[in-house]
Structures are given as C-alpha cells and as structure tokens.
Amino acid sequence: MSEPDPALLNRAAACYQRLGVLSEAARCYREAGSHRRAAELHERIGRFRDAALDHTRADNHELAAWLLAHGVGDPAGARAQLAAAPATSPSRSALRRRLVLARCDAAEGTSPRAALATLAAVCAELARPRTVPDPQLESWAVAVAESLGRPDQVALIFAAAVRGGRLGAEDRWRAWMRETLHAELVLPAPAAQIAR
Amino acid sequence: MPRRSRRRGVADPSPSTPPRPPAGSVEEIGVPKPEPAPTAEPPPVLTVAGEFRTASAALVFAGGLADLGNAECGHCAATGAWWVATSMTLAIARELIAAAGGRIHVEVDGRLVPDRGWGDGPPTGPPPQDPPEIVGVDVLEVVRTAGLHPHALPIGEHVTVLAPARRVTALAQRALDLELTIHTRLLRLDPLFADDDADPPSMFELRLASPSGPLPAALLAALDRDVCVLVCRRVSDHLLVQHDVASPLPDGQLAALAAREAGAGAWLLADVGFGSARLTPLTDLRDGAAFVRLSDRHRLPELDDGWARIARSTSEPEPAPLRLVRARTPDAVVEAVLLDDDDLACLPALLAGRPLADLAMLATGRDRHLMLAPGGVLERLPVGEPLYRLGPGPLFLPLGTRTQPLLPPTARRALFPTTSDTALVLQPDRIEAFPLAHREPVWALWAGPLPPVDLQLPREGRRALAEVDAQTTPARTAKPRSTVARLGDRLAERVRGPAPDRPRTWQNEALAAELADDLVRAAELCERNGELRRAAHLYERAAHQPTHPPTAR
C-alpha cells in the first residue's frame, strides 16, 4: 500500500480546522507527519495522552513528559518518557526536566524538598535579566507550586518574573491573585518613580 | 607428588609481611602502601581412601565424586569394611568421607595411613603395623550389596512397564483409553550379576507417556498391585530402575556406569520382588496402537467412485464467485444513498431547506435511484441504503459489507469497468448500474414548473421592440404544426432523452471531477465554495489514492 500524500492530508487538516473539527484535523496532521501541529490540536481538545504521543514523535520529549505528568496524571509514564529521551546539554532544558520530575513528585505525594529546590532554581533563572524568555518555564513552575498547594511559591515565581522583566508577568500575577486569592495585587512603585 | 606445607617451617621465599623500612625514613610516618596479596598455592591433591562399615555408606561417598571412573572400590574380608579410594584434596576428602560416616586414610609411600585430621599434607607418623588386606571389587558389586531403598518421586509424564506378553494387549488398550501414547518392544532379560543363564526369559517393554500432564495416579497404583508387571522409571537409555526405589549411588552416576558397562543393552535394577537384569532389545520400538485388533469385517475397500468422479469433473481449481459479505466498515462514510420509489417520495420532506439539497444530485432509474453529492452525502438519512465508495471510479458498496474475496484496485478496475458516466452499486445478488449523464439536482423533485411569466413592459417599449422585431425577423411562411406533430416531437424528445448540457454549476463540476477521479479538483471546488467538510473528505481520499502522484508540500 502506497504512502498517503502528506501535502493533501495537511490541506484536509486545514479544512477540518477551519470547520472547527479539531479531532479530525489532528488525526490528519498526525497521519501527514505534522506532529507538532497534531500535538497542539490534541492539547487544545484535552487529549493529553495523544498530544504527548505526538510530542514524542516530534522529539519533544520534555513536553511529552510534562503532559503525561500534569495533563494525564501519569507520573510513571512521564518518568519513563524522560528516561527514554536523549540527554540534552542546555541548562534550561535541564531545568525543564527538573520541573517535570518535581511535578511527578507532587503527583506521587513524595517529599516536596526536591521540588522546592527546583522552584528556587526556576526563580533564580526567571529573575535573571536579559535572558531569552522560556515561555513554559514560568507556567510549569506555577503549575508545580499549585500542585504542591504552595501559593507562597507561586507568588515568589511571579515576583522573580517581574524582577527579571518578563513581558506580561505582572498582569499574569494580578490575574492569578484575582482568580485564586480573590485579592488585588499591590506592588511597590519602581525605584525610579519613587526618586522622581 | 604431594607438596609440603609452609606451616611445617619450610623456608618460603615470599614473605607474608613487607620488610620494614629503615627507622626515621619518610615512609614510616606516611600512609603505608597496599601490598599485593600473596598468591595462594592450591592445596595438594592426594590419594585418599575411605573406610566404610557398609556398602551403602561407601556408595554415598562415591556418589559425591565428580567422576566415578577415577575411584576404586575394595572390600576387607577380615573387618567387613568397604573401601573407596580416589584422588582429591585432603580438605574435601575429609568432608565427604565424614559425611558418609567413614574413616579417612591417606596414601604415603604406597601404604595407607590414617589421617591425623588437620593440615593439608599427609600424616608424617609411622605407618600402621598391621595393615588391612583389601581386595578390589567392581562398583556393580558394591551396588548389589548396598541394595535399593524406598524413594518417593512425584508422578511424571513418562513411565516404563515390563510386562509378559499376555498382559500387553490389555495394558495397551487401557493406555489408549486414557489417551496415553504407548510404544513397545521385546526384551531379553539376562542375569545382571551372574555370568550366564541357559534360558533367559523375555518380556515386553511398554513406554507410556502422557501428552497432557502427569500420568494418571490410579493407573500406576493398579500396575503396582499387579504382581506380573514391573513399573520402572527410565533414568537413561541404559538404565531402568524400579519406580519407587533408588540406589545409594545417585541416578546420574548409575546411568554413567551403565552406559559404560551395558554396551548396546541396558540395566534393570529392581528389588527382591522382581530382581535385576541385563536387558537386550530383541525388536524395534513400535506404536502400541498395533495391539488394538479389529474384526475381519473391516476390510480395506477399493477407491471410492465418488473420488474418481470428482477428480475427472474439474481439471483446474474453480475460482470462487464474488460475493458480498458482512464486514465492519468503521472508517467508511456515506458517499451515496440508494433509494427506491417510496424513499424518493420522502426526499422532499427530508431535504427541503437543508444544505444537502443544494449539493445532492439524483440519478433516477427504473425503480431504484442513486443520490450523490460532491465529496459524498456525509449524512445518514432515515431513508434509503447508505453506500460507500469502493472505487476506482463510481463503484459503491452498502455500508457494513465488503467483497469476498477481497479485491485489489487493479482487479476491481478489471472486473468493474466503470466510467464517469455510469455508477455501479454492488448488491448481494446483482450489480445495479445508474447512468449519470441524466442526473438532476435533487431539489428538482419538489421545485415544480413556475407559473407563466407576465412581462410587464411599458407600452412605448413594447411598440419599439415590435418595430425592431419586424425589421430584423423575416416573415414566417411555414404553417403552424398540428397537434399530432407536436405530440410526435414530444415522443421523440422522450426517446432521445433530455439534453445532456446541464447548467454549469460548481456542484456539477465538482461531482464530474470526483466521478472522473480528479479528487483534488473536486476538493478545491468544494473548498472554494465553503463546503469545507466535503473538501476535507475529498483531500483525504485524494491523499490515499494509490495512483495519485505526490504533491509538493
């Protein structure tokens, strides 16, 4: 049997996506080999295990492991995913792996000591100015802190992101305060404004 | 030759402790260097002999030896002791002989000296004044003297039975009743320990095996009660031992001994109820089912006439007719609907006002009709029989069915030469063909003729048009046609059929492209006109089309 034409499958997926039938679109993207787009659509419709499978096929093992740990609630699968992934050298990737393992610890109810150390490392990374922002680092850390039941850690993460000048960090912190603590965020004015 | 131990004070060139460095040197206050471990010399191998009060104890010691061929057995008539001599290290010999309850002796200068109980070397004391007189005996003699002791083993899947000829048929019948496999052969039983027997008896050996788990315990119990048969376990091809007893010499050692001594035959070891023997096969093994006898009424017939007739009737295998069978078609979608007249009458009520009415086409037949749509109907209607497209071309099958046998596309193309103008629908008992050249939009079913158009022109305009018409149109000279002639024109038109030039709509173009297997063009037409679901379905079908050339991304 001949291989299906991926270009035509991508066009079919685009039609399904415009129509709003995301499951069919994801199926066509997966068959066409467009695994990142398939993973994105599967994640949007809440099929986290399928999304993790697509991320694995796209060699995005950390994201797959995160979805298994956080979306599916399968820490054993997430650990296996990380173990099967080839080791990557950048420190940011190592931080993401630590966050996945911290989320696994939180899901398994083990001691939060290692997870708190990981959150402290994330805070230090977020507070460093003039670094290329990692869009998932902050959200993953917030998710880990929430799964630990530690709103103080969430506040520390947002504070580090604000100190590091992350775009929109203050707004995200404010929205989280309203939604979770039902309180308004009051931040001190920057030092430059006080001097003026 | 035994080596002397270092404990005896013999000078040893390798010191056990490192030499002390000179006093006050740096090495003395520093961390001492690890010394390489002295190489341990293997303990010497000596000729040792065990003295045992019984033959059974001697065999227990002999059973612990790796190779019985290196051991020699002896017997002292004065003390009644049994001796086993072999070569091994003193430490191991002490353990094995002590475990068997014997006394250890070590050979020193060709004489056996009692062991002193410590050290790796032979004793150094004076030899005994009155050495025992030991006569060498065969291992088999020791085995004979030791006898057999009860030994319970779990019931296995194999057992060997020695039985006289008059019991073989009954035993074979019973074994076959119990669905056991049975093989038999005739054996001659010679004395094992004596030299010859003038008239050795012969018995049948029956090997019973259970293909499904252990043998029935009730069968073994019944055989045990029978004094004319002996139940044995087959230790090896050269050794049979009564099934509930064992020799002090382990089975492995006995089997090796029998393999060495028995030649082409085998040994049988059994207790006083039966006795031991040397077995010599007289016949080959054969299936025990041969002992099941039939009466003379079961004669072999000649070749049945039916076979000959069948063989003559067909010289080549006949291909199976193509059938339609039920099958799961989970990935198939409704691409067309087969309707009858009653279904057709329901269509206006079902489709009027629905988007499908804008797309669906109807190919009407004598009493069956086919509804199609570009990209497929894609809906389950409450009327008609839903069809999916098997292809190539407009070849349709009812949902939930497939062809038997399965046909590849090339075979389908050869068997069903469809064109874009004729759709084929496979039914269990027939193939229905629908000409598609005369298809009509489905809305034509309920959109009847319009009332006459009353053109409301102003008077001046009508006059001007009449003048122009009179100036440009030549005068009519032909007589008006009669009513009969007009009726003939209608009949001729009915026979010819309606004009095939349909209105040029995108729906028609898309369906024509789809019927011509130009699925990409049909999909593009659907996509351009907002029918995204049909477009997606057509793109998918095009992607899986086997003959479609790959498109550049």
Question: In sequence order, which residues have a C-beta less than 8 Å from that of residue B187 and are 6 or more positions away?
Answer: B162, B202, B203, B204, B205, B279, B280, B281, B282
> What would the mean pLDDT of B281-290 be, rounded to a whole number?
86
Whether A91 shows a pLDDT value over 80: the answer reads no
> What would the mean pLDDT of A183-192 be, rounded to a whole number?
77
Interface contacts (A, B; CB < 8 Å): 58
Q: Is A7 on the interface with B (CB under 8 A)?
A: yes
Instruction: Return the minimum-mean-pLDDT range out of A66-75, A121-130, B195-204.
Output: B195-204
Residue count of chain B, please give it.
553
pLDDT band at B28 (very low <50, low <70, confident <90, very high): very low
Q: Is B399 on the interface with A (CB under 8 A)?
A: no
Pull the structure tokens for residue B59. Answer: 């065999």
> What would the mean pLDDT of A111-121 be, rounded to a whole number?
91
Q: Which among A8, A10, A22 is the top mutation candidate for probing chain B, defined by the most B β-carbons within 10 Å of its own β-carbon?
A: A8
Say yes or no for a CB contact (<8 Å) between B532 and A6. no
For B521, the closest chain A residue by CA position comes to A8
pLDDT band at A104 (very low <50, low <70, confident <90, very high): very high
**Coil, strand or helix: which one is B182?**
strand
pLDDT of residue B19: 44
DSSP per-residue string spanning A120-188: HHHHHHHH-SSS---HHHHHHHHHHHHHTT-HHHHHHHHHHHHHTT-TTHHHHHHHHIIIII------P
What percentage of chain B exceeds 90 in pLDDT? Answer: 18
Closest CA to A147 of A158, A135, A139: A139
pLDDT digits (tens, 9 = 90+) for B144-189: 999 999 988 888 899 999 999 888 888 888 888 888 899 999 999 9
Whether B284 shows a pLDDT value over 70: the answer reads yes
Q: Phi/psi of residue A30, each to 5°?
A: -65, -45
> What would the mean pLDDT of B187-212 be, rounded to a whole number?
86
Long-range contacts of A94-97, Cβ-Cβ distance < 8 Å, separation of 24 or more:
A95/A121, A95/A122, A95/A125, A95/A137, A96/A62, A96/A66, A96/A134, A96/A136, A96/A137, A96/A140, A97/A62, A97/A65
pLDDT digits (tens, 9 = 90+) for B2-25: 333 333 333 333 434 444 444 444
> What would the mean pLDDT of B382-408 be, rounded to a whole number?
88
Spatial distance between the Cα atoms of B188 and B202, rounded to a whole number of angstroms:
4
| Spatial contact of B384 and B343, defined as CB atoms under 8 Å apart | yes
**Coil, strand or helix: which one is B240?**
strand
For the four alpha carbons of A12, A14, A19 and A22, in that order, the dihedral sign comes to positive
List CB contacts (< 8 A) between B532 and chain A. Answer: 15-16, 18-19
Whether B310 shows a pLDDT value over 80: the answer reads no
Say yes or no for a CB contact (<8 Å) between A8 and B532. no
List CB contacts (< 8 A) between A6 and chain B. Answer: 543, 553
ipTM above 0.90, yes or no: no
Whether A194 shows a pLDDT value over 80: the answer reads no
> What would the mean pLDDT of B413-429 be, rounded to a whole number?
82
Nearest Cα of chain B lies from the Cα of A1 at a distance, in angstroms, of: 7
pLDDT of residue A16: 93
Whether A73 shows a pLDDT value over 70: the answer reads yes
Say yes or no for a CB contact (<8 Å) between A15 and B552. no
Q: What is the distance between the terminal CA atoms of chain B, rounded to a whole angstrom? A: 87
pLDDT of residue A160: 93
Say yes or no for a CB contact (<8 Å) between B548 and A11. no
Question: In sequence order, which residues have a C-beta less than 8 Å from that of residue B88 and are 6 or more positions away?
Answer: B45, B46, B48, B65, B96
Q: Which among B544, B547, B548 is the top mutation candidate for probing chain A, defined by the most A β-carbons within 10 Å of its own β-carbon?
A: B544
Whether B287 shows a pLDDT value over 60: the answer reads yes
Mean pLDDT score of chain B, rounded to an integer? 80
pTM above 0.80, yes or no: no
> What would the mean pLDDT of A141-153 be, rounded to a whole number?
93
pLDDT of residue B25: 42
Whether A49 shows a pLDDT value over 90: the answer reads yes
Residue count of chain A, please give it.
196
Whether B466 shows a pLDDT value over 90: the answer reads no
**Does an H or E element contain B175, and which?**
helix B165-177
pLDDT of residue B75: 92
Q: Which of B523, B532, B550 has the CB atom closest to A19's CB atom?
A: B532
pLDDT of residue B503: 66
List CB contacts (< 8 A) between B553 and chain A. Answer: 6-7, 10
pLDDT band at B27 (very low <50, low <70, confident <90, very high): very low
Long-range contacts of B517-521, Cβ-Cβ distance < 8 Å, separation of 24 or more:
B517/B391, B517/B392, B517/B393, B517/B420, B517/B545, B519/B545, B519/B548, B520/A8, B520/B548, B520/B551
B415 vs A132, residue with greater confidence = B415
For the four alpha carbons of B437, B390, B368 and B447, in that order, the dihedral sign comes to negative
Q: What's the distance, CA B537 to chain centroid?
A: 40
Beta-bridge partners for B158 = B209
pLDDT band at B417 (very low <50, low <70, confident <90, very high): confident
DSSP per-residue string spanning B507-546: HHHHHHHHHTT-HHHHHHHHHHTT-HHHHHHHHHHHHH-T
Spatial distance between the Cα atoms of A97 and A118, rounded to a whole number of angstroms:
10
Whether B484 shows a pLDDT value over 80: the answer reads no
What percentage of chain B exceeds 70 in pLDDT? Answer: 85
> What would the mean pLDDT of B432-442 be, rounded to a whole number?
85
Q: Which of A9, A15, A32 has the CB atom closest to B527's CB atom?
A: A15
> What would the mean pLDDT of A118-134 be, rounded to a whole number?
85
List CB contacts (< 8 A) between B406 and chain A. Answer: none
pLDDT digits (tens, 9 = 90+) for B34-74: 555 566 677 778 889 999 999 999 999 988 887 777 888 99
pLDDT of residue B289: 79
Q: Is A182 on the interface with B (CB under 8 A)?
A: no
Q: Phi/psi of residue B320, each to 5°?
A: -75, 140
Q: Chain A window 9-68: which residues touch B at a Cβ cutoff of 8 Å?
A: 9-13, 15-16, 18-19, 21, 24, 28, 32
For B532, the closest chain A residue by CA position comes to A15
List CB contacts (< 8 A) between B551 and chain A. Answer: 5, 7-8
pLDDT of residue A34: 93
**Coil, strand or helix: which one is A48?**
helix
pLDDT digits (tens, 9 = 90+) for B101-134: 998 988 888 788 888 777 777 777 777 777 778 8
> What would the mean pLDDT of B459-478 be, rounded to a whole number?
79
